[in-house]
Structure 1
Amino acid sequence: MTDELARRIAALIPRAKADLAELVAIPSVADPRQYPPEKCREAAEWVAAAFTEAGLRDVHLEETPDGSHAVIGHRPPPPGAPTVLLYCHYDVQPSLDAAAWTSPPFELTERDGRWYGRGSADCKGNIVMHLTALRALGDDLPVGVKLVAEGSEEQGTGGLEAYLPPHAGELHADALLVCDTGNAAVGVPTATTSLRGVTTVLVTVSTLGGDVHSGMFGGPAPDALAALIRMLDSLRDADGGTRVDGLDCRGTWAGVGYDEQRFRTDAGVLDGVRLTGGGTVADRLWARPAVTVLGIDCPPVVGSAAAIPATARARVSLRVPPGTEAFPAQEALIAHLRAAAPWGVRVEIERESAGSPFRAATGGPAYAALDRAVREVYGTALSFLGQGGSIPLCDVLARTYPEAEIILMGVEEPRCLIHAPNESVDPGEIEHMAHVEALFLRNYADSARP
C-alpha cells in the first residue's frame, strides 16, 4: 500500500506544480499599503475551491478581527477515529527588491531543479503539500480532517489568534499539523519543537524643534540620529551578542545542534565576517534572546543636506526563547532603551505586537505516527530542532487545546530563502513531505484509537 501511495503522489506532482504556479501568481501580501487587498481575497477563494475539490466539506471564508479571511473546512471522522487539524497560510511576504530576483517574484520559475517564486515555500508550498496528501488518499481517509488557512500570518496582526478562542469548537482536533516550518536540510525529516517568541517596538528620538544647519549649530546641538545609534548599540555586547537589561541572554540548547559552517552557508555570511555572540550557534538561535534593528527612518544619503537631524526612528525586534514571556521581554526592551538614551533626549516608544514562544511535547501517539511515516519515506528517524522564528498562533493553540499534540513540519528548508529574494522550494520535498503527511494520517488513525 505504501508503494501504491508513493506512486499516486508522484503522479500528482505535475498538478502540484500547476497549483503552485497559480498560487504564486497571486501577490497575496496582507498589507493594503503595498498590495491590493482583493489579491488576498483571490488567494483565499482559490484555497477554498481547491480543498473543496480535494474532499473537504463546507469550506468557506471567515473574517477575523484584523479584517483578514481564514479559510475553514472539515471532513468528519469515521466512527471512533481521531481528527487532525491542517494549518497553513496563504499570505506571503512582499517581494522586496525586485531587482534582486533572478526571475519574476510572482511567477513560478523552474531553475536548477528548484521552483522559484514568492511563497513557493512559505507557505504556498505547504498548501500544495496538504492538497497532494489529501488527493492521494482520496476516499481512503481514515481520520477526520479540519482545515484552517490563515490570511495575515506574515503581517503578524493576530487575526486568527483572536478568532480562535471564541470559536474553539470549530477547530478542535486531537492532533494539529502546523505546516509553516520544514526540514533541517533537504532529505532530513524534521519536526520543530521549539519556537522563539517575538516582540517589536518603534522608538523615536527627538532633540530639536527642526533640522538645523550643521555649520552654524553643529557641536552643541544634539544629533537625534547619533543619540539613536548609541541607544541601539547598547543592545549588543562587545562580541555582538544581545544584551537587554533584565533578560537572561546566556541560555543553552540541549537538542540537536547546528554546525557553524553550515549555518554560515545557509545564512549567506560573507567570508571573513564573524558570527555575533558567544556559545554555540544553536544556543544563539534557539535558547537566547536576539535583537535586530529592522529599519531606521533618518535622512537618506542621496539628497542629504548639511543639517543636524532633529528626529530619528527605528523599528526594533526582539526574539525570545521558551521560558521567557514576550510581554515582560517587551517591557525590558523598552526600559533598556529609555535608560540608554543620552543627553536627556526625548524618547517615544510605541509597542507593536508580541507573540509568545512555544515548546512542543513530543511523547504522544501523533509524534509516534509521524516518526513511523518519515522512516518509511526517508529511511531515517524524525529529527527534532528549534527554530529561531516565531509562530504566535502556536501559543494560542497550546492554550486553547491543552490536550492536543502540536506538530510543526513542512516543505521549507534553509535553501528556500524564505522572506528573501529568490525564495524557492525543492519539488522533491513537496513530494516526500506529502507522502509523509498521507502516511501520518493513516498511521495516526490506528495509534490514536483507545
Structure 2
Amino acid sequence: MTTLTADEIRSRVETDWNRIVKVLAEKVALQSISAKGITAEQMKRSAEFVADELRLVGVDTKVVQASNADGTPGAWEVIGSHIVSPDALTVLLYAHHDVQPVPDPAEWNTDPFVATEIDGRLYGRGSADDGGGIAIHSGALKALGDDLNVNIKVFIEGEEEMGSPSFIPFIEAHRDEFAADVIIVADSGNWSADIPSLTTSLRGNTCVDVTVQGLEHPVHSGQYGGPILDSNTLAAMLIASMYDENGDLAVPGVAAEEPIGGLQHDLDETTVRKDSGVVAGYEFAGTGSLASRLWTKPSVTVIGFDAHPVEGSFNVIAPETRFRLSLRTAPTQRPEEAQEALAAFLESHAPFGAKVTVERGENGMGWAMDPTAVATKDALEAMTEAFGVEPINKGEGGSIPFIPELQRIFPNAQVLVTGPEDPKANAHSPNESISLPGLKNNVITEALLLDKLGK
C-alpha cells in the first residue's frame, strides 16, 4: 500500500480548489439558520444540498429527520458511508450544516448570505462555522478518490447551533451507522490561519441557583441598617468567598488541570486583552499560564442576579437574593462531582449565618484528547506536512456537549477535534469569514490524515 505524499495531495486539491470554494459559497447562500426552526424547509434544503455534494465525492448519503427525546420531530441530519473493505479502519467525519442567525445585517460589511472574497478570506454566515468543516470533508475525500484506504462514515448535524436536542436519541438509534475507530470532528479551529492546531480539551459545565436569605421580610434601612446586612451584600460576600487573594477559584473538590498534552505556547496577553475588550488597568485574575486559566482550570461566572433595579429603588433592606452560577469545570472532572463540591461550599460559607439554599441545575461533561493515541500522532504529522510548520495545540474554555457524548457512546474510538476557524473567523458574530489559504491546508491535512490512517 503506497502512501501519498503531501505534494501529490496538494496538487489534487489545487485541481479541485474552485469546486471546493463553490460548494462553500453555495452553502452560505442557503441561509440554514436553525434558530428559525430545525424542522423548517430551509434546514431540509440545506441537508439535501450537503448530501448531494457528498455523493459527488463517493459517499452514499441520505437525509434523515431525527426525533427528539419526547418523540417530536427533530433536525434534518445527513448520514452516509463509503466502505472500501470490511477489514479497513473506519473513520467517522462530523460537521454541522446549520448556522447562527444574523440579527442585524447592517453590522456586516458584506451581504452575510453572499460569499464574498476579500484579501484571501471568504466572508459569509457559516463560511467558517461550519461550512468550512463540510468543505474540508468534501475536499479531502475528493483528493483521495480511489486511493482512499479507510471506511468512511459521515454525520452532518442540523441543530448544533441549537444545542443538539435530538443528538443523543439520533445517535442511539443509529449506533451501527456511526460506530467507528476514529472520529474526526471538524468544528473547531487553528492557532492562526498559518499555524494548525488540534483541540486538546474542552471544559465541562454545571449550573446552580443560589438563594441567600437574611430576613423574613423587608425592613427599613434607617431603622435596622448596621447589624443587619441586606441580602445583596450577603450574596456578594458569599460569591467573593469562592476566590483566594490571587483570584483563583478556591473551592475544595473543584479540580484544576494543566493543559492536556502539555503547553507548547502560552496565549498572548495583549491579544487576549484586545479580543476580550477588558478595560484599561484591569489585571487578569488567577495564577499560572493564561492558557490553563482559560482552557483547563475551573471558572465561575454569575450569569443571573435578581435584585431591585436602581430606578425606583428605596430605603429598604432586601431580605432575599437569588443568583445563578455557571461553573466551567476541568476537562476530566465529572460535572456532578464539581457541582456537589460547589453546593457544599456555598452552604457551609453562609455569611453571618444567613440562610443559603442551592438548587442543582444541568451538567455537561468536558473532554480531553488522548495525546498518546495513534490517530493523534498521525494528525500532528499531517498538519506539519500540510502547513509546513509545527502545530500548536490548544484547548477551548467553552463546551461542545456532543463530543463527550460521542466519546461516551463510542468509548473505544479515538476522537480528534479539528476545524476551519482561526482567531479572525468571527464565528457567531458579524463579518464571519474563513481564510482560504488556511482552508486549503486544512483540506490537505485531512486527506493526509486519512491516508496515514489507511496504513
Tell me, yes or no, whether TM beats 0.5: yes
Equivalent residue pairs, number: 439
Q: Confirm whether residue 136 of structure 1 aligns to residue 146 of structure 2.
A: no
Letter in 1 for 2:49: W
**Which sits farther off after the overlay, 376-385 or 339-348?**
339-348
Provide the C-alpha distance between the structure 2 equivalents of 1:340 and 1:351, rounded to a whole number of angstroms.
20
CA deviation map 1:114-137 (0-9, x unaligned): 233333222221112112222333
Paired position in structure 2 for 1:48:
51
SS of 2:253's equivalent?
A: coil
SS of 2:92's equivalent?
A: strand
Q: Confirm whether residue 414 of structure 1 aligns to residue 423 of structure 2.
A: yes
Q: Which runs of 5+ in 1 are unaligned?
A: none
RMSD of aligned alpha carbons: 3.7
Q: What is the Cα deviation at residue 201 of structure 1?
A: 4.0
Q: Confirm whether residue 126 of structure 1 aligns to residue 129 of structure 2.
A: no
Q: Which runs of 5+ in 2 are unaligned?
A: none
Provide the C-alpha distance between the structure 1 equivalents of 2:206 and 2:60, rounded to a whole number of angstroms.
37
Provide the C-alpha distance between the structure 2 equivalents of 1:299 and 1:103, rounded to a whole number of angstroms.
42
Q: Confirm whether residue 260 of structure 1 aligns to residue 263 of structure 2.
A: no
Provide the C-alpha distance between the structure 2 equivalents of 1:432 and 1:22, rounded to a whole number of angstroms.
21
SS of 1:425's equivalent?
A: strand
Paired position in structure 1 for 2:411:
402
CA deviation map 1:101-158 (0-9, x unaligned): 4445455443443233333222221112112222333344222110112233333355
Provide the C-alpha distance between the structure 1 equivalents of 2:167 and 2:87, rounded to a whole number of angstroms.
29
Letter in 2 for 1:91: D
Percent same amino acid at aligned positions? 36
1:18 to 18, 22, 36: 22
SS of 1:361's equivalent?
A: coil
Label 1:311 to 1:140 Cα distance change in 2 as closer, same or farther (>3 A).
farther
Paired position in structure 2 for 1:443:
452
SS of 2:419's equivalent?
A: coil
Q: What is the Cα deviation at residue 322 of structure 1?
A: 3.0
Provide the C-alpha distance between the structure 2 equivalents of 1:124 and 1:233, rounded to a whole number of angstroms.
42
Letter in 2 for 1:252: E
CA deviation map 1:288-329 (0-9, x unaligned): 11223345566777xx43367898765532221233111222
Paired position in structure 2 for 1:169:
176
Q: What is the Cα deviation at residue 405 of structure 1?
A: 1.7
SS of 2:184's equivalent?
A: strand
CA contact (8 A) 2:68 2:169 kept: yes
Q: Confirm whether residue 385 of structure 1 aligns to residue 388 of structure 2.
A: no
Label 1:78 to 1:330 Cα distance change in 2 as closer, same or farther (>3 A).
same
Q: What is the Cα deviation at residue 84 of structure 1?
A: 0.9
Label 1:215 to 1:199 Cα distance change in 2 as closer, same or farther (>3 A).
closer
Provide the C-alpha distance between the structure 2 equivalents of 1:297 and 1:200, rounded to a whole number of angstroms.
16
Label 1:360 to 1:259 Cα distance change in 2 as closer, same or farther (>3 A).
closer
Paired position in structure 2 for 1:87:
94
**Which sits farther off after the overlay, 332-341 or 200-209?**
200-209
Paired position in structure 2 for 1:321:
330
Provide the C-alpha distance between the structure 2 equivalents of 1:323 and 1:189, rounded to a whole number of angstroms.
24
Paired position in structure 2 for 1:351:
361
Provide the C-alpha distance between the structure 1 equivalents of 2:453 and 2:189, rounded to a whole number of angstroms.
20
SS of 1:46's equivalent?
A: helix
2:62 to 36, 59, 68: 59
Provide the C-alpha distance between the structure 2 equivalents of 1:339 and 1:94, rounded to a whole number of angstroms.
43
CA deviation map 1:307-358 (0-9, x unaligned): 6789876553222123311122223334445556668568573613x22122
CA contact (8 A) 2:191 2:197 kept: yes
Label 1:173 to 1:414 Cα distance change in 2 as closer, same or farther (>3 A).
same
Provide the C-alpha distance between the structure 2 equivalents of 1:95 and 1:339, rounded to a whole number of angstroms.
45
Label 1:243 to 1:69 Cα distance change in 2 as closer, same or farther (>3 A).
farther
SS of 1:317's equivalent?
A: strand
Letter in 2 for 1:181: S
Label 1:96 to 1:76 Cα distance change in 2 as closer, same or farther (>3 A).
same
Q: What is the Cα deviation at residue 256 of structure 1?
A: 1.8
Larger radius of gyration: 2
Label 1:328 to 1:348 Cα distance change in 2 as closer, same or farther (>3 A).
closer
Provide the C-alpha distance between the structure 1 equivalents of 2:330 and 2:188, rounded to a whole number of angstroms.
17
Provide the C-alpha distance between the structure 2 equivalents of 1:335 and 1:385, rounded to a whole number of angstroms.
32
Label 1:306 to 1:279 Cα distance change in 2 as closer, same or farther (>3 A).
same
SS of 1:181's equivalent?
A: coil
Letter in 2 for 1:260: D
Provide the C-alpha distance between the structure 2 equivalents of 1:331 and 1:284, rounded to a whole number of angstroms.
22
CA contact (8 A) 1:31 1:37 kept: no
CA contact (8 A) 2:199 2:418 kept: yes
Provide the C-alpha distance between the structure 1 equivalents of 2:233 and 2:110, rounded to a whole number of angstroms.
39
Matches within 5 A, 1:369-380: 369-380=378-389
Letter in 1 for 2:400: I
Letter in 2 for 1:371: L
Provide the C-alpha distance between the structure 1 equivalents of 2:360 and 2:107, rounded to a whole number of angstroms.
32
**Which sits farther off after the overlay, 186-195 or 227-236?**
227-236
Q: What is the Cα deviation at residue 161 of structure 1?
A: 3.3
Paired position in structure 2 for 1:292:
301
CA contact (8 A) 1:181 1:410 kept: yes
CA deviation map 1:181-239 (0-9, x unaligned): 221222222212222212234557789999x9999999699866666555544444444
Matches within 5 A, 1:106-255: 106-165=113-172, 167-202=174-209, 229-249=236-256, 251-253=257-259, 254-255=262-263
Provide the C-alpha distance between the structure 2 equivalents of 1:104 and 1:315, rounded to a whole number of angstroms.
38
CA contact (8 A) 2:255 2:330 kept: no
Provide the C-alpha distance between the structure 2 equivalents of 1:14 and 1:199, rounded to a whole number of angstroms.
44
CA contact (8 A) 1:93 1:419 kept: yes
CA deviation map 1:225-271 (0-9, x unaligned): 6665555444444444334453134x434332313334435545454
Label 1:92 to 1:234 Cα distance change in 2 as closer, same or farther (>3 A).
farther
SS of 1:416's equivalent?
A: coil
**Which sits farther off after the overlay, 356-365 or 279-288?**
356-365
1:274 to 276, 283, 287: 283
Provide the C-alpha distance between the structure 1 equivalents of 2:212 and 2:28, rounded to a whole number of angstroms.
40
Label 1:428 to 1:206 Cα distance change in 2 as closer, same or farther (>3 A).
farther
Provide the C-alpha distance between the structure 1 equivalents of 2:125 and 2:306, rounded to a whole number of angstroms.
26
Q: Confirm whether residue 8 of structure 1 aligns to residue 12 of structure 2.
A: yes
